[in-house]
Amino acid sequence: MTTHHKTSKVTMKRLKKTNPIRVMLVDDHSAFRKGMAALLESESDLQVVAETGDGREVLELYRQKKPDVVLMDLRLPGMGGVEITMAIRKEFPAARVIVLTTFDTDEDIFRAIQSGAKSYLLKDTPDDELASTIRSVHAGKQVLSKKMAERLAERQQRPELSQRETEVLQLLIKGRSNKEIGSALCLCEDTIKAHFKTLFAKLKVQDRTEAAISAIRQGIVHLE
Report the CATH fold assignment for 3-156.
Answer: Rossmann fold (3.40.50)
* Whether pLDDT at 14 is above 70: no
| Predicted pLDDT at 25 | 97
Three-state secondary structure string covering 154-177:
HHHCCCCCCHHHHHHHHHHCCCCC
Name the CATH topology of 163-218. Answer: Arc Repressor Mutant, subunit A (1.10.10)
Report CA torsion sign: 37, 40, 43, 49.
Answer: negative
Q: Per the confidence metrics, is the pTM higher than 0.75?
A: no
pLDDT score of 9 = 47
Mean pLDDT of 95-110: 91
Measured between alpha carbons, how far is 32 from 97 in angstroms, rounded to an integer? Answer: 18
pLDDT in tens, 175-190: 999 999 999 999 999 9
pLDDT above 70 as % of the chain: 92
pLDDT value of residue 62 = 97
Helix, strand, coil content of the chain in percent (nearest 5)? 55, 10, 30
* Mean pLDDT across 147-176: 89
Q: Is the pLDDT of residue 10 over 50?
A: no
Q: Is 188 helix (H, G, I), strand (E, B) or coil?
A: coil
Classified as helix, coil or strand, 151 is: helix
181 backbone dihedrals φ, ψ, rounded to 5°: -65, -45
Q: What is the pLDDT of residues 19-64, one digit of tens each?
A: 899 999 999 999 999 999 999 999 999 999 999 999 999 999 999 9
Query: What single string gives the DSSP state of each residue in 198-220?
Result: HHHHHHT-SSHHHHHHHHHHHTS
β 46-52/69-72 pair status: unpaired
Q: Note the helical H segments in 76-145.
A: 81-91, 106-115, 127-138
Residues of the chain with CATH 3.40.50.2300: 3-156
| Average of per-residue pLDDT across 201-221 | 89
Q: Is the pLDDT of residue 143 over 90?
A: yes
Strand partners, 48: 23
Higher per-residue pLDDT: 128 or 223: 128
Percent of the chain with pLDDT over 90: 72
Residue limits of CATH 1.10.10.10 in the chain: 163-218
Query: Is the confidence at residue 78, as pLDDT, over 70?
Result: yes
